[in-house]
Amino acid sequence: MKRIQVAVFLALWIPAASLLAAEGAGGGSGGTGAVVKQVEGAGGAKTLLQQMWQKLRAYGPKLEAGREPARAATQAVGVRGAEATSTQLNPYWKDDKSSDPAHQQEVAELNKAQDLADTDAPGAARALEEFLKNHPASALKPNAQFALALAHGTAGDKARGRAAAEGFLKDNPAHPLADDARRLIAQLQ
The pLDDT score that the predictor gives to residue 11 is 61
By the 8 A CB rule, do 128 and 144 touch?
Answer: yes
Assign 18 a pLDDT band (cuts: 50, 70, 90).
low
Q: How many domains does the chain have?
A: 1
Cα 102 to Cα 98: distance, rounded to the nearest angstrom:
10
Count helices and strands (H / E) in the chain.
7, 0
Read off the pLDDT of each residue in 16-26 and give the average, rounded to a whole number.
Answer: 50
Tell me the residue range of the domain where 174 lies: 117-189
CA distances from 162 to 42, 70, 78, 158, 182 (A): 18, 37, 60, 6, 9
CATH of the domain at 150: 1.25.40.10
Q: What does the pLDDT look like over 118-160, one tens digit per residue?
A: 788 888 889 999 999 998 988 889 989 998 998 898 888 999 9
Would 183 be classed as within a structural domain? yes
Would 84 be classed as within a structural domain? no
Cα 144 to Cα 36: distance, rounded to the nearest angstrom:
35
Read off the pLDDT of each residue in 40-65 and give the average, rounded to a whole number.
Answer: 68
Would 182 be classed as within a structural domain? yes
The pLDDT score that the predictor gives to residue 163 is 94
